């Protein structure tokens, strides 16, 4: 795990003072690192059925698409408000730095489909909580949520696990 952690770039005070931005582009830009991250994120789900990975815009698309390919399942985009072309349902959430809405196509998930949520990082868990709610509103069964990075001090993982969804993370960073 240590080698992957070294590939994350930390940018202090971005996008606002007090935030330590954990930049995964340096990991994605390293061929071995990217490959290892995808393999490790997908690992716990290789032995159970997954119908679709739901990736959260935008970094969740990069990781989620590759994980879906590895698991041999479908990919569903969860996008910022107004970007999906067909009929959508939306869910508002609070970010570590702001308020936003994510949307999903209303026909993206069939009842009882087994869904894996994917994003790069879990902080307060607000984004992932909205993603779980969206999947459940369409009748999906959320079998897990996978992230590269957890910020445990912000409690997101606990929030999602309290919703009955196990989280799989590759590494943790102290602070915000």
Q: Is 113 a catalytic residue?
A: no
Q: From the candidates 22, 57, 79, 96, give the one annotated as an active-site residue.
A: 96
Q: Where does residue 123 fall: left (phi above 0), alpha (psi -120 to 50 degrees), or beta otherwise?
A: alpha
- Binders of ligand AMP in range 34-53 (CB under 6 A): none
Measured in whole angstroms, the distance separating CA 91 from the mean position of its chain's CA atoms is 15
Q: Is 59 a catalytic residue?
A: yes
Burial tier of 77 (Cβ tally within 10 Å: 0-12, 13-18, 19+):
buried
Stretch (H or E) spanning 27: helix 25-28
Q: From the candidates 22, 57, 59, 114, give the one annotated as an active-site residue.
A: 59
Contact status: 123 vs ligand AMP (CB under 6 A): yes
Contact status: 132 vs ligand AMP (CB under 6 A): no
Cα 104 from Cα 107, distance rounded (Å) = 8
Q: Whose Cβ is closer to ligand AMP: residue 26's or residue 49's?
A: 26
Quick one: which segment of 27-35, 80-88, 106-114, 115-123 binds ligand AMP (CB under 6 A)? Answer: 115-123
Contact status: 96 vs ligand AMP (CB under 6 A): yes
């Amino acid at each position: 795990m240590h080698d992957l952690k070294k590939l994350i770039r930390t940018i202090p005070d971005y996008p606002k003072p007090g935030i330590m931005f954990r930049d995964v582009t340096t990991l994605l830009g390293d061929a071995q690192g990217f490959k290892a991250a995808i393999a490790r994120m997908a690992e716990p789900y290789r032995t159970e059925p997954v119908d679709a990975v739901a990736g959260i815009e935008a970094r969740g698309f990069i990781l989620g698409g590759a994980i879906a390919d590895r698991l041999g399942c479908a990919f569903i985009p969860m996008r910022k408000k107004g970007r999906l072309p067909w009929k959508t349902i939306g869910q508002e959430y609070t970010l570590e730095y702001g308020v936003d809405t994510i949307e999903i196509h209303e026909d993206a998930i069939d009842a009882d489909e087994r869904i894996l949520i994917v994003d790069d990082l879990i902080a307060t868990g607000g984004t992932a909580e909205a993603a779980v709610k969206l999947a459940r509103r369409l009748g999906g069964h959320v079998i897990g949520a996978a992230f590269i990075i957890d910020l445990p001090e912000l409690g997101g993982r606990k929030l999602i696990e309290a919703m009955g969804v196990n989280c799989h993370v590759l590494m943790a960073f102290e602070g915000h």
